Chain A
Amino acid sequence: MATSIEQQAKGKKDGEIRYLTPLNIETTKAKKYCRFKRSGIKYVDYKDPNFLMGFVNEQGKLLPRRLTGTSLKFQRKVATAVKRARHLALMPYVGDLLK
């Protein structure tokens, strides 16, 4: 909604910051979703390190569900898959600037 400078200034003291054009900040965040549920993947393959790389950070640590949006059921499967991949040296246990 466009407001004039006078309208914005209403009820404000002199010297307070006013904007010439009203700010339009998007406040609704994109809803997180579980990519396994959405695309119908039922098995997390430990033999595919490229895919599993999406679930670890630069140091090779597992990312929390809170960040990836993975459902609990699949987070557990991702965790075992990553651990298996590490055992087979497909993925590192520790890393530096992996991505």
Chain B
Amino acid sequence: MNNYETVFILNPVLSDEQIKETVKKYEDFLVSRGAEMVAKEDWGLKKLAYPIQHKKSGFYHLFEFKAPGEVIEPLELEFRRDERMMRYLTVKLDKYAIEWAEKRRKRNKEKA
């Protein structure tokens, strides 16, 4: 099991329900393949620094999870096939990154 983190940007023209459905789909996808969700974050509608597919904003979501390495390839394949997905980035976390992620989560919690 490795620690991963993935950020993806969803198309801004989607309705709230469609977004929830999409996020749920990927969460279930991960869990069904033996992944363990550590944290989920919804950054909401954010302005992009430059236009992607002629869109100026997008819905950002962050997943942090523990998973065996084999699930990443099918996950990204699924991302690529999905036209609701504008961008994604998956990063493997090293020990410093895990430490930082925990600290960040704690700080966000205090703020909220």
Interfacial residues, chain A to chain B (CB-CB below 8 A): 42-43, 45-47, 49, 84, 86-93
B48 within 8 A of A: yes
Contacting pair B100 A89 (CB below 8 A): no
Would you list which residues of chain B between 37 and 81 have a CB under 8 Å from chain A? 48-50, 52, 58, 60, 62
Main secondary structure of the interface of B (DSSP, over half): strand
Q: Which of A43, A45, A47, A89 contacts B49 (CB 8 A)?
A: A89
Number of contact residues on B: which range applies? 10 to 19
The A interface, classified by DSSP as helix, strand, loop or mixed, is: loop
CB contacts (< 8 Å) of B89 on chain A: these are 84, 87-88
What chain B residues lie within 8 Å of A89 (beta carbons)?
Answer: 9, 48-50, 52, 58, 87
Q: What's the minimum C-beta distance from A96 to chain B, rounded to whole angstroms?
A: 12
Q: Which residue of chain A is the closest to B50 with respect to CB atoms?
A: A92
B82-101 CB mask vs A (1 if < 8 Å, else 0) is 00000101010010110110
Chain A residues with Cβ below 8 Å from B60 are 88
Check B23 for interface membership: any CB of A closer than 8 A.
no
In the bound complex, do residue B50 and residue A84 qualify as a contact, i.e. CB atoms below 8 Å apart? no
